[in-house]
Homo-oligomer: A and B are copies of this chain.
Amino acid sequence: MSLKESGKYKSLDFLKFEEVLNENPENPSITILAKDENDEKAVILLRKKPFQSNVCQEMLSECDLDLDLKNDRYHTFDGTIAAKYQPLRYSMTYPASELHIAKARSAPTEIWIETKEMFERLHQPFISSQLHSLQWVYNILDKNREKCNEVDRIVVEDPDPKTGFLVVPDLKWDGKDTKQLNLCVLINRRDIPTVRHLNSDHLDLLENILDKSSKEIAAKYKIPEKQLRMYFHYPPSHYHLHVHITSTFFGQGCNTERAILLTDVIENIKMKSSFYAERTMSLPLRVGHKLHNIFENE
């Protein structure tokens, strides 16, 4: 019996483990490649779900502990608690194509140093080749309800064609837990691909985003403005200028080599209009990404 026939499964025992594609000890997660009897492939991501705060007494009482370290009042144990208190999340792509497998496979990120000259010669032509893939952004900006339901999730809006923007929840956020708040500001203008393209002509736009969106979001979600982190990615995942807004409780996606604070961008441009046009910048690239190949092969 295969998953495709039934859809109701208690186990994946029809799959044979082949290879660990990826492991992240921090969150923790593991990605496994497996095969069925017909050699069809499956990519399976397992993640440990958060602790359940309603079973704390059970986690104290029904644990099986093994003392590892003890120093005065400080003790460390390895332990286990019953499986029912430790749910997992299984995400399976099956049948998986070679592309699914390649995307799931662990790849290091390398921090390249991009001069102005490298940007103009290597990165700008790549940006120009990617502009066709921005239709999904324009669907939101045009409020094309036929093509996208994100239109109904807009949380802040400023229609000004020069300095205006829309704010929508990031798809990864459930829209509820404000400690994991994750929003995206899409600017109305369609002529600014990245931070590299910003100069003092854009200060009104940047200051409008900083002031208006942070104020309205703080009010809407009832959190202090100082607990919002507003930043650009460089390189961004898509080349229509956007600002990420996340809670300071939530650290994913804001690594310093890729994330640049909106307040820093404003400061730098005020100091020197051409700051980002001339700047030598860090450029983190995942090995195997198209842009990495361009830099690697030049």
Contact = CB atoms under 8 A, between A and B. Distances in A.
A229 B251 contact: no
A65 B111 contact: no
A93 B73 contact: yes
Interface in A84-110: 84, 86-96, 108-110
What is the predominant secondary structure among interface residues of chain A facing chain B?
mixed
Q: Interface size class for chain A?
A: 35 or more
B79 A87 contact: yes
B56 A20 contact: yes
A27 B64 CA distance: 22
A147 interface: no
A109 B29 CA distance: 26
A30 B12 contact: no
Interface in A198-233: 224, 226-229, 231
B10 A65 contact: yes
Interface in A256-275: 256-257, 259-261, 263-264, 267, 271-272
B74 A79 contact: no
A90 B65 contact: yes
Interface stretch (A43-51, A119-127, A133-141, A159-167): A43-51
B90 A252 contact: no
B46 A59 contact: yes
Which of A56, A231, A267 has its CB near the most chain B CB atoms (within 10 A)? A56
Contacts of A256: 229, 231, 254-256, 259-261
28 contacts: A10-B63, A17-B60, A20-B56, A23-B53, A25-B50, A26-B27, A27-B27, A29-B51, A46-B51, A63-B88, A73-B95, A75-B93, A76-B92, A77-B89, A77-B90, A78-B89, A79-B89, A80-B86, A81-B88, A83-B83, A86-B86, A111-B228, A229-B255, A251-B255, A255-B259, A256-B260, A256-B261, A257-B261
